[in-house]
Amino acid sequence: MQIKTIILGTAGSAPTRERRMPSVAMIYEGEVLLFDCGEGTQFRMLEHDINPVKVKAIFISHAHGDHTIGIAGLVRTMGMNNRKEPLLIFVPAGDEKVIQSLITFDRALITYKIIIRGIRSGLVYSGREYEVLAFKLRHTIPTYGYAFREKSKTKFKKELAHRLGIRGEMFSKLEKNGSVKVGKRTVRLSQVSWRQEGKKIVYATDTRPTQETIAAARNADLLIHESSYKASEIGLARKRMHSSAGEVAMLAKKAGVKRLVLTHISARHRTDTELLRDARNIFKNTVVANDGYTVII
């Protein structure tokens, strides 16, 4: 199953003419998950034909306004589109009231249920074929990254299974029980199947590079990580608890990720030339995202 990831907003702290505030959409089996919801998120959703009613959950990295203010307009639009399904919003534990304050202004329109859950590290949400885990980041306030992880699947070697006499419902019995009787022979699941590892996408923003991120991103198909500063600005990155492009590239290399996408770009950078150079000197498969940058894996 394909996972479509759209970096809706790529600005860091303040918007520019080209970049809006932070938000990432993941689309999987028709469901939409949002990671952060900065100002302007729903405008970018319109540009990419993302139906707000399809949003299952919003995962907030931290309670700073540039990552949360877009929730106010988005939940109102959902109400105007006659949303019935409950909406889940995840936020670092202790900051639930910040989100509550954004959704109480227009109860006449917001008639569907909104469930706000405070999170800590670990599993925070499970879909039918995927799960979302949170891991701690290092910023000026409590902040979490998120790992979208597709569940692994059992894949059958069908030609071999057929040769051994396995047909129809025998496949489901074999998967459930680990073995099945075919005549006088017992066929084990391990003989006729293999495990297909699920895809993994990791999102980390407003943070210093951390060991927790390396662990969460181990062998990930895609790492989306903030890169507010270039290498020569590492002092600012440390002071403001953000990351430089070179630091993030080193993190991606250590984690063994397949692809790195840099976002949360400071308004001081008029072009992405230096950020890209800093990162690609260490990790070649790097892109600096512009709003709307899309990855399908």
pLDDT tens digits, 201-240: 999 999 999 999 999 999 999 999 999 999 999 999 999 9
Q: In which element (H, E) is residue 6 found?
A: strand 4-9
Burial of 17 (C-beta count, 10 Å sphere; 0-12/13-18/19+): exposed
What pLDDT does 171 receive? 79
Lowest-pLDDT range of 8-12, 32-36, 187-191, 273-277: 187-191
pLDDT tens digits, 46-62: 999 999 999 999 999 99
pLDDT tens digits, 124-139: 999 999 999 999 999 9
Check if 291 is active-site: no
pLDDT interval class at 108 (50, 70, 90): confident
Residues 6 or more apart in contact with residue 213 via CB below 8 angstroms: 135, 137, 145, 202, 204, 207, 225, 251, 255
Q: What are phi and psi for residue 61, nearest 5 degrees? A: -70, -40
Domains in the chain with CATH codes: 4-152+200-296 (3.60.15.10), 154-194 (no CATH)
Strands 87-92 and 179-182: unpaired
Residues 6 or more apart in contact with residue 172 via CB below 8 angstroms: none
Q: How far apart are CA 259 and CA 225, in angstroms?
A: 11
Q: How far apart are CA 62 and CA 236, in angstroms?
A: 20
Q: Cα–Cα distances in Å, from 169 out to 85, 160, 174, 175, 176?
A: 34, 16, 9, 10, 11
What pLDDT does 13 receive? 84
Q: Spot the catalytic one: 66, 206, 221, 291.
A: 66
What count of residues does the chain have? 297
